[in-house]
Structure 1
Amino acid sequence: MNYLLHLVIYLSIYAIVALSLNIVVGYCGRLTLAHAGYYAVGSYAYALVALKLGWGFLPALALAVGLAAVLSLAVSLPTWRLKGDFFVMVSLAVQTLIFSVIYNWTSADDEPGTWKNLTNGPFGLAGVPSPAIIGIKFDTLSSMALLSLVLAGVCFLLGWALLHSPWGRVLQAMRDDELVARGLGKNVRLLKAEAFAVACGMAAVGGAIYASYVSYVDPSLAS
């Protein structure tokens, strides 16, 4: 039974990440190799504020989502000019940059989580606290599985609502023929930035769930 609950948690995490990637690849028509990097950004952001600042689950999750959405500009800005293989290479460069920052932001003389040793390099950050919401702790497999399923359901409903809204239909129109979308007066640049922000923020949700469940994050999350 414990193993089944463990699988439920991991399947929920992967479902969230897959849904977020589908926004970029399926609906935006852009193949990105940087998505794991934003998953790792969510994991580390959540781990740091929960571990070092004592933030609760929801505030830490909100910060992780916001940070990943802001950093998504590193990928979405090049899409204004680059397409096809050129954009794929830029996204790979961003992925490599995120991994390098996480792997190398370390100092043997400082405590993990401090400015000079923010990520603790290849050793990662251990002891991430279990999530708690309004005093309710999710520190058992069954409660963690329930929380991950609820968050996956929220992400699915949010994604479905967005992609079946006028915003989502314009996104598909841009994917099928960007020139036509421009001709109809749609702000294609803004649309791409919004799509990447939503996708990267959603990937960060998966990363935060992972960090709170495993209680440990390391640079392999970004690879």
Structure 2
Amino acid sequence: YEGELSPDIVRKAIGLPERKGLASRALTPPGRPPQLCQGCPHADSYGALKEALKDYPLHAVTSDIGCYTLGALPPYNAIETTVDMGASIGMARGAAEVGLTPVVAVIGDSTFYHSGLSNLIDAVSHNTNITVLILDNDTTGMTGAQPTILPSSRLEPVLKGVGIAPEHIRVLRAHRNEHEQNVQAIKAELAYEGPSVIVLVRECIEALKKARKA
């Protein structure tokens, strides 16, 4: 880069002899695509969502920016589109308004508080037929595990406050032991013609590891 200084450039500038290093072979490391952490709750959430959608060959799953965006990659292949923070619910609403069903918006808890809430209010005001999955891992994992604005216990009252019918708010545990129960809950909300929210809760595995070491 222009203006960049390296040890070799500095040595040359002050008249020191050039250092001769060992010749190195050009090595191409094997490809390692990004993936969810081992034990990540999002993996269990996507597993349940994929199974619930098997009955719907034509569907759309929109996503936001976060660790869960990796659900677009193998082995999950669970989401079709991602644009920016907060866009998942707005995109889902647009797809539903032109007749595509079912439509699922996937968003993290911290992103929901940051920029997803206003789009959900809009969906409620128009009674839009979408299902929102809030992946609640109780942290902002992608940017360093910062705390979320509100704890998990406060999320359900917020959803009720913006107008989501209480019977269409489901709080589930994102774990493989709850897989079948979660699949059935998602199927039930996909069949509902209106806005519904499923909160899949389990703490970020990396945040949990750090907390145990502290």
TM bracket (short chain): under 0.3
TM-score scaled by structure 1? Answer: 0.26
The structure carrying a bigger helix percent of its residues is 1
Q: Determine which structure has greater relative contact order: mean sequence separation of CA pairs < 8 Å that are 6+ residues apart, divided by chain length.
A: 1
The structure carrying a bigger strand percent of its residues is 2
